[in-house]
Amino acid sequence: MRRVAMTMLPLVALSLIVGTAMAEPIVVLNNGAQRDLVISRGEHRISIFSNELTIDPWPTSGGDAAYSLRINFQYQFGDPEVITGSIQGNDLPLFPPTPIQSPSLAVFGGLRLEGSTLNSDTTYLAPAYDTDLGNTVPAALHHGTHSFADFNLESFTEIGDMAYIGYASSDISTFGYAQIERVTDIDWKLVGYAFDPSGAEILVRNLAVPNGATLLTLGIGGASGLLRRRR
């Protein structure tokens, strides 16, 4: 399993009314040596509810990490005129404990979620779980240029364009989003992700732009995420 350099920044907003600090979502930035790693060719799996940034190669020895995403953008049959793409949650072993640890994915808004709020009122595509057979079909979003596609990669045209993947836990109790940056139409880098383990709603904002809040930098393990680190 490959670990990628990271910065973990739980944000603390100062309350001018009561003079006390109010916790903000946990933000994990990919600003280390592998900031330029292309994560959109189906070769990586990104953990999305962890305090420590973890990007595993895919397929992953021992199986997918719980609560992780695989982004797979390709040219169909090698033709640069035809793009295919999917964003998919992790597979799980048979008869996993519930609630199952594979993400639900925000449906509306495509990958243009900046400025929106993710909460229990957001529409999600949840993973399907068959309690009799014990198998899970992870949630997946797909690229297309037609009106009923989940997102359209061709609507992003500039180097440095930002896109956002909204997600929640399978039981829609914890919310977060990942931010990716365009290099080419199918090559994207991970900027980082944010989530709130308290279950509070979360505002989607550009993580590459400081928001003016007081920043509190903690060491690895200084705050708890939704999951413990895998060994």
61: phi then psi, degrees, rounded to nearest 5: -60, 130
- String of DSSP letters for 35-85: TT-B--BSSEEEESS-SS-BEEESSPTTSPPSSEEEEEEEEGGG-TT-EEE
Run of H or E residues at 87: strand 83-89
Residues shown for the chain: 231
What pLDDT, in 10s, does the model give residues 5-46?
A: 444 444 433 333 333 344 689 999 999 888 999 999 999 999
Q: Return the pLDDT at 20.
A: 37
**For the chain, which ranges sit under pLDDT 70?**
1-23, 211-231
Cα dihedral 143, 146, 149, 155 sign: positive
Nearest CA to 65 out of 52, 88, 49, 47 is that of 47
**Distance (Å, rounded) from C-alpha 109 to C-alpha 122?**
10
Predicted local confidence at residue 225, as pLDDT: 60
Q: What pLDDT sits at residue 211?
A: 64
Q: Which amino acid is at 166?
A: G
* pLDDT for res 227: 61
d(C-alpha 37, C-alpha 163), whole Å: 16
d(Cα 30, Cα 28) in Å, to the nearest integer?
7
DSSP state of 169: -
Separation in Å, CA 53 to CA 68, 102, 123, 225: 11, 17, 27, 11
